[in-house]
A = this chain, B = another copy of it.
Amino acid sequence: MEVTRRNFKDCLNTVYSAIEEADFLAIDGEFSGISDGPNVSALTNGLDTPEERYTKLKKHSMDFLLFQFGLCTFKYDQTKSKYITKPFNFYIFPKPFSRTSPDIKFICQSSSIDFLASQGFDFNKVFCNGIPYLNQDEEAQLREQMEERRNQHANGVGTPSFISPSSKGPAHVPEEHKDFINKVIEKVETLFTNSEKTLDLEPCTGFQRKLIYQTLNWKFPKGLHVETVETEKKERFIQVSKVDEEERKRREQQKLEKEQEELSDAVGFSRVIHAISKSGKLVVGHNMLLDVMHTIHQFYCPLPEDLQDFKEVTMCVFPRLLDTKLMASTQPFKELITNTSLAELEKQLKESPFKSPQVETAEGFHSYDTAQEQLHEAGYDAYITGLCFISMANYLGSFLTPPKAYIPARSKLVEPFFNKLFLMRIIDIPYLNITGPDLQPKRDHVLYVTFPKEWKTSDIYQLFSAFGNIQVSWIDDTSAFVSLSQTDQVQIAMNTSRYAESYRIQTYAEYIQGKQQEKEKLGQTPKTWGEDSWAKSHYTASSTSAAFGYSRALRKRSISPVQGEQGARDSQITDGWSNYSYPDSTGSKKMRTDALNEQTNTEAVESKTSEGWLKTADSSDTAGLSPIPDEAPEGTNEAGDADGTVTWQQASSRMHGRKGPKSKKKQTEAAESTTSLFEVPEVW
């Protein structure tokens, strides 16, 4: 269903009930751009920490506009043994709803706009008929403004700047307006004596109208209703009506209701997000970190500085998230799925060993045909994201004894995938863990190298030629991370560099320490996120999650990813990557403990699948970065396999291109050696 400003109010109840009845929701957003940074490779360094990545995305992506929001609700029909879907495609635009509403500015990135244009995106629908929205602060502000205005009118005073020492006294009428105001008073006095019911004053300036309001409210506190009316020519004049007290109250009431409706209209699309949030339903997305960040930023509140605070806000807005890209990159799917872009994933999940999910579009809704792709319409993308989730969830049922063909969204089998958002192109941290501390891979074999800006990847390769295969992750023109294949070579590399003049090598630990010290020097102490400034999470151990419990051990594991009980699989590991250290305790100190859940979830998981799943696939994004051909005279159309990832890649390769052959070279070589060198770490 296409929802614009024209039909938003009429659709809202349909949306609400679709959310309310759903088993799970799928979402997707389309943006006016991805990154405003000068250099996307710096934005996505393969060895970013989660904090760094969050900070970069916040800084370089939030000024774009989320202008299409796809929501697809999925409700399982037991009798039909299929899901009934309700897809919505919302067009979003911050139309200033009045002259006092915020005038939003947003950035457009021409590559993103051009890409959407090539996909048939309808910009006119966005800009002409997009649904407005306010975040919570703006809503509160507007509400306050309205109340203030009401109070002023009630008190018979204008704006505070006109309040005279005694606010009950007469308005201060500047000399030059005294004649004008006195004439108005005369006219109103005449009105009281004659049989007319209303009196239309001459059009006048806003300042004069203000004086009239103040004067009349003070002089005639009862028996009058004063209102500003507009002529066809948009001239404003004041209409004074004789009314009894009852009529006056009725009119005030009418006005109040009208204001409430205006406020509600202004909050607009944010009401849909509130409903999703309040429902506590599982929200599924594909590669959804940016979607989540944009949704919160645009409809809820400006993003907090600190990653930990972001995680808490996210849990308030979306209590349960599932990222299908992360799921597809994890055991048991990683070995079966070669390409985790949304379009490819959807295709592969139709084929054995997976099964096409049984779905039916609800009556009155547009029925999407997955054979005729409509990728990059947010509603369609949300729809197929939901399909992917169903296929993968059901596949998990095949591991049960006896196997089950249908696994509901609230099944404990999918819980290990909850609240882990895919991190693009970080070599050793596959996801952002929203409900706990992040993985802290050991980076003992990583060196931080600084060098003259003339250096190219080949120079770095030459420098480290004695150490076999290396992996280079450029940070900027004069620095890069170099990952050695064996940790024990790190000390040798450090020793050989001791007397070097043109370059400098630090261990990763030294680098991180240096950064920390720099931060402390700048007086940046970690901010605390005032608990009272945020609404408490809407999601407090809902009855569904209590009913379908999971073992306490499993739950714990999803919070602290490194547990002792992994001996069996350690043997599979071929490099030094498997050691994730425990994050220091401060990282988790503010996390909710879900005490309720822990008490009730005592049911043990009886399934051979409860371990060994969350092994991520070899990072297809990193590999996808590599071969950037540079003899090609023109950009090829990468639309075919494009999801958010590819748009990003396009931007990236183009950016690099601008720097000339040098940076292209860097990317090509660095990326090519990625996959061959390392296994992506185990997560479980």
Chain A residues with CB under 8 Å of chain B are 32-33, 36, 65, 93-111, 113-114, 116-118, 122-124, 126-128, 145, 148-149, 158-162, 172, 174, 204-210, 213, 228, 230, 233-234, 236, 258-259, 262, 456-458, 461, 626-638, 640, 650-651, 653-655, 657-658, 660-662, 664-665, 668-669, 672
With A207-B669, A672-B205: A159-B662 Cβ-Cβ less than 8 Å: yes
A190-B544 Cα distance, complex, nearest whole Å: 70
With A98-B635, A262-B634: A160-B662 Cβ-Cβ less than 8 Å: yes
Instruction: Kindly name the residue among A105, A109, A662 whose own CB sees the greatest number of chain B CB atoms within 10 A.
Output: A105
- Residue pair A117, B107 in contact (C-beta under 8 Å): no
- Residue pair A110, B94 in contact (C-beta under 8 Å): yes
Q: Which residues of B contact A93 (CB under 8 A)?
A: 110, 113-114
- Residue pair A631, B234 in contact (C-beta under 8 Å): no
Q: Which residues of B contact A126 (CB under 8 A)?
A: 123
- Residue pair A228, B117 in contact (C-beta under 8 Å): no
Q: Which residues of B contact A262 (CB under 8 A)?
A: 633-634
Sample 27 A-B pairs with CB under 8 A, ordered by A number: A65-B108, A95-B114, A96-B635, A96-B654, A97-B635, A99-B634, A99-B636, A99-B654, A99-B657, A100-B658, A106-B108, A107-B107, A108-B108, A123-B128, A159-B665, A160-B662, A161-B661, A172-B458, A205-B672, A206-B628, A206-B629, A207-B668, A209-B629, A233-B640, A234-B636, A234-B637, A234-B640
Q: Name which residue of chain B comes closest to A145, CB basis.
A: B660
Q: How far is the CB of A226 from chain B (nearest CB, A)?
A: 9
- Residue pair B111, A665 in contact (C-beta under 8 Å): no
- Residue pair A105, B107 in contact (C-beta under 8 Å): yes
**Which one, B96, B230, B660, contacts A110 given CB within 8 A?**
B96
- Residue pair A661, B160 in contact (C-beta under 8 Å): yes
- Residue pair A635, B107 in contact (C-beta under 8 Å): no
- Residue pair B96, A114 in contact (C-beta under 8 Å): yes
- Residue pair B228, A629 in contact (C-beta under 8 Å): yes
Q: How far is the CB of A30 from chain B (nearest CB, A)?
A: 13
With A117-B128, A458-B162: A103-B213 Cβ-Cβ less than 8 Å: no
A210-B664 Cα distance, complex, nearest whole Å: 12
Q: How far is the CB of A356 from chain B (nearest CB, A)?
A: 24
Q: Which residues of B contact A661 (CB under 8 A)?
A: 148, 158-161
Q: Lowest 10 A-B CB distances belong to which pairs?
A: A100-B657, A159-B661, A205-B627, A206-B629, A99-B635, A161-B456, A123-B123, A117-B128, A206-B627, A161-B665
Q: Which residues of B contact A123 (CB under 8 A)?
A: 123-124, 126-128
**Which one, B114, B124, B630, B651, contacts A124 given CB within 8 A?**
B124
Q: Name which residue of chain B comes closest to A205, CB basis.
A: B627
Q: Name which residue of chain B comes closest to A123, CB basis.
A: B123
- Residue pair B458, A161 in contact (C-beta under 8 Å): yes
With A127-B113, A640-B234: A207-B672 Cβ-Cβ less than 8 Å: yes
**Which one, B106, B651, B655, contacts A107 given CB within 8 A?**
B106
A74-B613 Cα distance, complex, nearest whole Å: 74
With A159-B662, A633-B262: A101-B640 Cβ-Cβ less than 8 Å: no
Q: How far is the CB of A2 from chain B (nearest CB, A)?
A: 16
Q: Which residues of B contact A626 (CB under 8 A)?
A: 205-207
Q: Name which residue of chain B comes closest to A203, CB basis.
A: B627
A160-B664 Cα distance, complex, nearest whole Å: 11
- Residue pair B101, A654 in contact (C-beta under 8 Å): yes
Q: Which residues of B contact A113 (CB under 8 A)?
A: 93, 127
Q: Which residues of B contact A635 (CB under 8 A)?
A: 96-99
A633-B230 Cα distance, complex, nearest whole Å: 11
A458-B161 Cα distance, complex, nearest whole Å: 7
- Residue pair A100, B210 in contact (C-beta under 8 Å): no
**Which one, B110, B111, B158, B665, contacts A106 given CB within 8 A?**
B110
A161-B665 Cα distance, complex, nearest whole Å: 7
Q: Name which residue of chain B comes closest to A227, CB basis.
A: B631
- Residue pair B630, A206 in contact (C-beta under 8 Å): yes
A304-B219 Cα distance, complex, nearest whole Å: 59
Q: Which residues of B contact A631 (CB under 8 A)?
A: 149, 206, 209-210, 213, 228
Q: Name which residue of chain B comes closest to A655, CB basis.
A: B103
A634-B255 Cα distance, complex, nearest whole Å: 13
Q: Which residues of B contact A159 (CB under 8 A)?
A: 630, 660-662, 664-665
A637-B96 Cα distance, complex, nearest whole Å: 12
Q: Which residues of B contact A629 (CB under 8 A)?
A: 205-206, 209, 228, 236
A632-B161 Cα distance, complex, nearest whole Å: 18
Q: Which residues of B contact A228 (CB under 8 A)?
A: 629, 631-632
Q: Which residues of B contact A259 (CB under 8 A)?
A: 633
Q: Which residues of B contact A662 (CB under 8 A)?
A: 159-161
Q: Name which residue of chain B comes closest to A109, CB basis.
A: B105
Q: How far is the CB of A255 from chain B (nearest CB, A)?
A: 8
Q: Which residues of B contact A208 (CB under 8 A)?
A: 627
Q: How far is the CB of A651 from chain B (nearest CB, A)?
A: 6
- Residue pair B105, A110 in contact (C-beta under 8 Å): yes
- Residue pair A111, B96 in contact (C-beta under 8 Å): yes
Q: How far is the CB of A122 from chain B (nearest CB, A)?
A: 7
Q: Which residues of B contact A174 (CB under 8 A)?
A: 461
Q: Which residues of B contact A95 (CB under 8 A)?
A: 110, 114
- Residue pair B105, A36 in contact (C-beta under 8 Å): yes
A665-B228 Cα distance, complex, nearest whole Å: 18
